Amino acid sequence: MKRSNQTLYKYLFWCWLILILGVSSIPSLPVLEKEVIGLVRTDYFIHFVEYFILAMLFVLWKKNTSFKPISLVLIWLIGTAIAFADEIHQLWIPDRTFNPADLLFNSFGILSGLILTNILLINFSYQND
């Protein structure tokens, strides 16, 4: 991957993280409790997607890094710690709460984003060899 692409992904990663933290700091956001395809609430799906994208951007930023399974576990734990801190900070935001289900979907989004993006990058690198 070109260095300029990695720089772009780095900035996108940091902007996305700031956006996540900024939106979670807004008091009195409407709760989207409708179900998506009858499986999961819309707000949980949004939590999954926002952290999935964050993990995807991180992997694309660090593409030339060799991610061993232990590295992925460590990145997942750090990402989950960020999501946990985000949920904790909402205790001080009016009309916001700590929601363990949000944390679970954030963490699952990080894990899924890490795994899927790595698989896709490995497949594309083998096809281009």
Whole-number pLDDT of residue 66? 65
Write the Ramachandran bin of 40: left for phi over 0, alpha for psi from -120 to 50, otherwise beta: beta
Give CA–CA dist 50/126, Å, rounded.
Answer: 28
**Which range marks the domain in which residue 53 is found?**
3-127
User: How far apart, in whole angstroms, are the C-alpha atoms of residue 125 and residue 116?
Assistant: 14
35, β-bridge pairs = 41
Please count the structural domains in the chain: 1
- Helix (H/G/I), strand (E/B), else coil: 124: helix
The per-residue pLDDT for range 46-77, each reduced to its tens digit, is 999 999 999 999 999 988 666 778 888 999 99
What is the distance between the alpha carbons of residues 99 and 84, in angstroms, rounded to a whole number? 10
Q: What is the per-residue pLDDT across 13-24, written as a single tens digit (0 to 9) for each?
A: 999 999 999 999
pLDDT in tens, 110-126: 999 999 998 888 777 65
Nearest to 103 by CA among 114, 91, 94: 91
